[in-house]
Structure 1
Amino acid sequence: MSVHQPRPVGVTPVELRRLGSLSAALLTAAALTACSADLVEADDAKPSAATSSTINPSGAPGGTPDGAGLRLADAIKQIPVAEEKRTGYERDSFKHWVDEDGDGCQTRDEVLIAEAVTAPEQGARCSLTGGSWLSYYDEVEVTDARKLDIDHMVPLAEAWDSGAHAWTPERREAYANDLGSDRSLVAVTAKTNRSKADRDPKAYMPPAESARCPYLEDWTGTKLRWGLSVDDAERTALLDLAAPCEDSVVEYEAAP
């Protein structure tokens, strides 16, 4: 089945996203310094300027199959620009929280299991007890899964506005239950999810400072993965917000 890969215990959602952006150059550098007497923690540093050699020089859209990424600002510029179209949107146009593989766990449960810092116990019909999560939007630790929402990184209404209005119902369902990328769906506190609602980054950014750049990476990667567009105001806002994120790299794989 195509689901989130389980995250190592103790690795937060933000760290997972940052680790996913590390290039081969950084790994090589670590190997070369392995004989040093001083051990270096893997998550002590963000990707540095040394990783720039792995950036896709063509800047071409369509994913990064060779493992290279795009600098955040360059990735934003790859998103097609078009006017938004809200006409006809209904939340029910996106069938979500399905049991895609028939294992008894709906999409919501799959995300909770994958993003748990401490794994919950799984009972009948995928009922979850115990466990802990870190909501990366606000850096809040949660020990009750009922207090978490599963946020569509690019909200359903925003996706509709940005191109999903022209999709088939089947593709909209695939989008709403996208377990093929760990940036498409994320477990966060209900408070932050409902504060965000269907707003794009020009109107909403997560309250935690540490979440800002990863959030922009995730938003941009999701739009590129699904071929969604931005309007002029959103593009301008994304580029302005991305200015402090000099080390941010976006990697994505085009949705099937």
Structure 2
Amino acid sequence: MLRAAMAAAVALIPLATTAVPAQAAETLPLGAAVNSLPLAEENRAGYQRTSFRHWNQGANPTDGCHTRSEVLIMEAVDAPTVGPGCTLTGGRWISYYDAQTVTSASALDIDHMVPLAEAWDSGASRWTAQRREAYANDLGSPQSLVAVTARSNRSKSDQDPSQWLPPNRDALCRYASEWTTTKLRWRLAADAQERDRLLDIAADCPGTLITYEVAP
């Protein structure tokens, strides 16, 4: 089953630099969730991609599958064959950013819904290295990591929704929901332009709800 059908998970609490105990999931309309994002100016000073270790050994360190492979297995429309060393053969995926069907795992990137640089700008610069690694390999929420075409992922780069949106216009409600979910899950801030664009999208997504709980 596509992870698109799964519920999001993050919790509404203030920004902090350390992990907190798990809290009950909460559901809000998309617009209300966007308005719950802490508002702050972004600061990229000191950012290095290597500050976020990925991909790590994933959910099961003994199966040979790192995080990238686990996302590909979970998001496949038609499951690939998993061989020795977690080699993937066959399979079929839908890249929802651009509505493309992909039949080769090597043609897909695993996108961090909120890019690593954007996360750094929005609060992750204050995290420990261990928490940044947890963020970069988050298999606890189906919205955090998404398999998409390399072209669409590289077009997005490290841009937020005020700068880039999926070319598939039918994906906007989902994209705004998953972006907001990920920021709330990890207690990341939004800047004014980002929040305003998300609110614009939310206005065109009546009835869209997101459910979220904070990352451990």
TM-score after normalising by structure 2: 0.90
SS at match of 2:160: coil
The residue that corresponds to 1:65 in the other structure is 24
Q: 1:177 aligns with which of 137, 144, 153?
A: 137
Match of 1:198 in 2: 158
8 A contact 2:139–2:145 mirrored in 1:
yes
CA contact (8 A) 1:135 1:189 kept: yes
Aligned twin of 1:81:
39
The answer for the alignment partner of 1:48 in structure 2 is: none
Alpha-carbon deviation of 1:216?
Answer: 0.4
Shift of 1:224: 0.2
The higher relative CO (CA closer than 8 Å, separation ≥ 6) is in 2
2:71 maps to 1:92: no
Counterpart amino acid of residue 206 in structure 2: E
Where does 1:237-252 land on structure 2 (aligned, <5 Å)? 237-252=197-212
Structure 2 counterpart of 1:137:
97
Give yes or no for the alignment of 1:118 onto 2:78: yes
Structure 2 residue aligned with 1:105, among 65, 68, 72?
65
| Cα displacement (A) at 1:172 | 0.1
User: Are the equivalent residues in 2 in contact too, given 1:64–1:252 (CA < 8 A)?
Assistant: no
Partners in 2 of 1:93 and 1:85 — Cα distance?
15
Larger radius of gyration between Structure 1 and Structure 2: 1
Q: Is 1:235 matched up with 2:186?
A: no
- Code of the residue aligned with 1:220 in structure 2: it is T
Please give the root-mean-square deviation of Cα atoms over the aligned residues, in Å. Answer: 1.6
Deviations 1:99-131 (A, max 9, x none): 033121000000000000000001111000000
| Residue 61 of structure 1, CA deviation | 2.1
Q: Distance in 2 between matches of 1:141 and 1:226?
A: 30
| Aligned positions, number | 204
CA–CA distance in structure 2, aligned partners of residues 145 and 152 of structure 1 = 17
Structure 1 residue 179: Cα displacement: 0.2
- The 3-state SS of whatever aligns with 1:251 is strand
Letter in 1 for 2:176: L
Query: Is the Cα–Cα contact under 8 Å of residues 64 and 251 in structure 1 kept in the other structure?
Result: no
Partner of 1:223: 183
Match for 2:147 among 183, 187, 207? 187
Partners of 1:142 and 1:13 in 2: how far apart? 16
Between the aligned residues of both structures, percent identity stands at 56
Shift in CA distance, 210/64, structure 1 to aligned 2, threshold 3 Å:
farther
Check conservation: 1:13, 1:136, Cα contact below 8 A: no
Structure 1: gaps of 5 or more residues: 1-6, 22-59
Question: What are the ranges of 5 or more consecutive residues in structure 2 without an aligned counterpart?
Answer: 14-21
Residue identity in the other structure for 2:56: V
Give the CA deviation at 1:13: 4.6
Q: Matched residues in 1 for 2:177 and 2:108: separation?
A: 22
Question: 1:40 — aligned with what?
Answer: none
Q: Distance in 2 between matches of 1:234 and 1:140?
A: 26
Aligned residues of 2:3 and 2:142 also touching (Cα < 8 A) = no
SS of 2:47's partner is coil
CA distance in 1, matches of 2:197, 2:169: 17
Q: Who is 2:19 aligned against?
A: none
What CA deviation, in whole Å up to 9, does each residue of 1:28-82 have, x standing for no partner? xxxxxxxxxxxxxxxxxxxxxxxxxxxxxxxx8249836x510000000111011
User: Does 2:215 correspond to 1:255?
Assistant: yes
